[in-house]
Amino acid sequence: MTQPTQPASFHGLNLAPKLLEILERLRFHEPTPIQEKAIPFAIEGKDLIGIAQTGTGKTLAFGLPMLQNLARLQGQGLVLLPTRELAAQVEEMLLRLGVPLGLRTAVIVGGASMVRQTQTLRKRPHIIVATPGRLIDHLRSRPNLLDQVRVLVLDEADRMLDMGFAPQIEQILSRVPKKRQTLLFSATMPKGIVAIAQKYMAMPVQVEIARSGTVTDQVDQEILFVSKERRLLQVERLLKHYHGTVLIFSRTKWGVKKLTRDIRAMGHQVAELHSNRTLAQRRQALEGFKRGQYRVLVATDIAARGIDVKDIELVLNFDLPGSPEDYVHRIGRTARAGKKGKAISFVMPDQQRDVKDIERLIRMQLPVGAGSDPAPRVTAGRSRQSGQGPRRYGRPFRPQGSGAGQWRRASRNRSRPQR
């Protein structure tokens, strides 16, 4: 007779009794898959590459081993992240774990006072949580700042590379001691990550939870074909239909500011989040959204990986993201902590190819929601020919296969204007 599978427990991950007590007090009872796989290897001091989407509990996956190993090594920890919001989020979790242990942290990010940060660093914090650019600023005046680093974490490494931080990361990696533990966490495994692993990590163990493009089944996804002129009317309709908190993504800072003004004029409590806001303004917007002061948050992709709010009812892509991977990160802001969520994306008539790229990554067809404009007409050069299969979204639907990429390139070439 097969014995029932016992639920996973932090007690089987070689964690110190004091950390187990803290987890129990914080009501963390069962590790997530990335925590269950990564923590034992990390506690052993091994270099590790963890591939997992945002929202899977990566902070505990590296935070718990870091705290335990630093107590043994008597050194310093360094966590590198792409954005200020992520840095604040990680520090918050580390403090929840480490305050009972006497943990001191320093957050080193742009937009804050260099003088105050320098004063904090002089107090020899146990862990430095930093964005690459601002940390480089401090290294210029204090070249030996990282000499005591024994555990280095690169969190959201693929995002840091996407944002152009590769030179800064290389510079920082050259400044930390060679004898250290390196933990790298990423949602994807691009060539840049492989290069870092080969050059700066010692025989890293790789653990992978979900391949790129994996979206939780708890997110109900759909697209709406909407002309540019009617998008604001659709926003107003959706905000009346959904009564919970709403996160709206726009691609540009100017678009965020304008949309925020329009939503405020509709009578909703709304905040904006983008890189032109000061650090204090960004913190106020994010904290206000978490507390319920603002029902709606309008943001650029700066928030795609930097928001840990468990009760977002709707994620709305006012603009489609620049890459399919960013779509996955955006909609991952809803349906967290086991709850269900909704993700709706506005699609303009000329963006059908972008939808196709997203569908290829997430391996599913996105349904067209109620209230969508009539399906766009087939454009010139894409007329249906016999035997090409059913029409979908106003254009031929192509089965995936060895010839799919060739057809896609040929179709793209046909659609280009002659010069």
pLDDT tens by residue, 43-97:
999 999 999 876 778 999 999 999 999 999 889 999 999 998 899 989 999 999 9
Six-digit token pair at 347?
Answer: 């699609």
Domain boundary among 208, 232, 250: 208
Q: Which residues contact 153 (CB under 8 A, 6 or more apart)?
A: 62, 66, 77, 78, 79, 80, 182, 183, 184, 185
Are both 242 and 153 inside the same structural domain?
no
Look at residue 413 in the predicted model and tell me its pLDDT: 43
What are the structure tokens assigned to 190, written together? 């691009």
Asked if residue 370 and residue 248 are part of one domain, the reply reads yes
- The residue ranges of DSSP E strands in 244-354, in sequence order, are 245-249, 270-273, 296-299, 312-317, 341-347
Question: Based on the domain organization, do 176 and 294 belong to the same domain?
Answer: no
Contact 160, 153 (CB under 8 A): no
The segments of the chain whose pLDDT lies below 70 read 1-7, 54, 210-213, 306, 337-338, 375-419
Question: Do 204 and 306 have their domain in common?
Answer: no
Domain boundary among 208, 231, 264: 208
Residue the block writes with tokens 């996804």: 221
Considering the domain architecture, whether residues 116 and 56 belong to the same structural domain is answered as yes
Dist CA 309 CA 300 (whole Å): 16
Q: Whole-angstrom Cα distance, residue 315 to residue 216? A: 14
Number of folded domains that form the chain? 2
Task: Look at residue 277 and give its three-state secondary structure.
Answer: coil
Q: Are residues 64 and 178 in the same domain?
A: yes
Q: Are residues 330 and 249 in the same domain?
A: yes
What is the token pair recorded at 168?
Answer: 């800064």
133 and 256 together in one domain: no
Q: Which conformational region is residue 381 in: left (phi greater than 0), alpha (psi within -120 to 50 degrees), or beta?
A: left
Per-residue pLDDT, 6: 52
- Give the Cα separation of 259 and 318 in Å (integer): 9
**347 and 366 inside one domain:** yes
Statement to judge: residues 182 and 266 lie in one domain: no
pLDDT at 275: 85
Angstrom distance (rounded) from CA 79 to CA 91: 9
CA-based angle 397:399:400, to the nearest 5? 130
Q: Among the three residues 146, 180, 208, which one is the final residue of a domain in this structure?
A: 208
Residue 393 lies in a domain: no
pLDDT on residue 389? 37
Same domain, 124 and 256: no
Q: Where are the beta strands (DSSP E) in 74-132?
A: 76-80, 105-108, 127-130
Q: Mean pLDDT over all residues of the chain?
A: 86
The per-residue pLDDT for 7 is 52
Q: Both ends of the chain: CA-CA distance in Å? A: 73
Under 8 Å between Cβ of 250 and 228: no
Cα 13 to Cα 210: distance, rounded to the nearest angstrom:
21
pLDDT at 213: 66
Instruction: Decide: 315 and 245 in contact? Cβ < 8 Å.
Output: no
Query: Looking at the domain assignment, is residue 105 inside a domain?
Result: yes
Find the CATH number of the domain harbouring 173. Answer: 3.40.50.300
Q: Do 48 and 179 belong together in one domain?
A: yes
Domain containing 64 equals 10-208
